[in-house]
Amino acid sequence: MKKTLLGLILLVAIAIGFNACRQTYENGPIISFRTKMSRITGKWKLVSMEGVPRLNPEIDQYMELTKEKISDGVYKAKFTNFQDDYCSFSPPTRGEALFTADGTWKFYSGAFFGGCSIGEYLDENEGLDISINESSNIKVEERWKILRLTNKELKIRNNVCVDDFCDFYWNVRTLTFKKE
């Protein structure tokens, strides 16, 4: 009787554990015993960029996402040798140089738009909201869909409308990072 009860409790615990660790991104791991927060934080090196050419592929580009909390759900970030191709109403006006800046990041859940039209609805923490402080008066904020998040690999895709006009990178891009 005790063995049966112990076995049943163990079976229920395993089932709950597998459900909590299930795949959450379309290209994510099937099972992970690390939380999304522990997988996403760290120093990420850009290894590929699809959709636009890299300005200088010989220079390493990094995005460091920390656990240092700024406000509820918002954390500090640092971008080293990053490439910006941001625009508002016209073809890119910046994006001609790499830059290093501080910023913030947070997980994002909600509507994810593509090309200023209704897109898809992201599940809990399926998106990534990144803000980059380019200078004292310019702040770039982008929402990305997380396509893959493992402890060693992060793959994200952009193209999001934020306001009434399109505030998105001129071209859809998919960035792939490897954790340092």
The 10 Å Cβ neighbour count of residue 85 is: 21
User: All domains of the chain, ordered by start, with CATH?
Assistant: 36-179 (2.40.128)
Q: pTM for the complete prediction?
A: 0.72
Question: What's the whole-number average pLDDT of the chain?
Answer: 75
d(C-alpha 128, C-alpha 151), whole Å: 16
Q: Decide: 132 and 84 in contact? Cβ < 8 Å.
A: yes
In this predicted model, what pLDDT tens digit does every residue of 30-89 receive, in sequence order?
566 788 899 999 999 999 998 778 888 899 999 999 999 999 999 999 999 987 654 433
- Helix or strand run (H / E) with residue 136: none
Could you tell me the CA-to-CA distances from 1 to 5, 11, 13, 150 in Å, in that order?
Answer: 6, 15, 18, 41
d(C-alpha 84, C-alpha 61), whole Å: 12
- Helix or strand run (H / E) with residue 38: helix 36-40
Full 3-state SS string of 96-107? CCEEEEEEEEEE
DSSP string, 16-32: HHHHHTB--STTS-SB-
In this predicted model, what pLDDT tens digit does every residue of 78-133 receive, in sequence order?
999 987 654 433 344 445 578 888 999 999 887 776 544 456 677 778 889 898 88
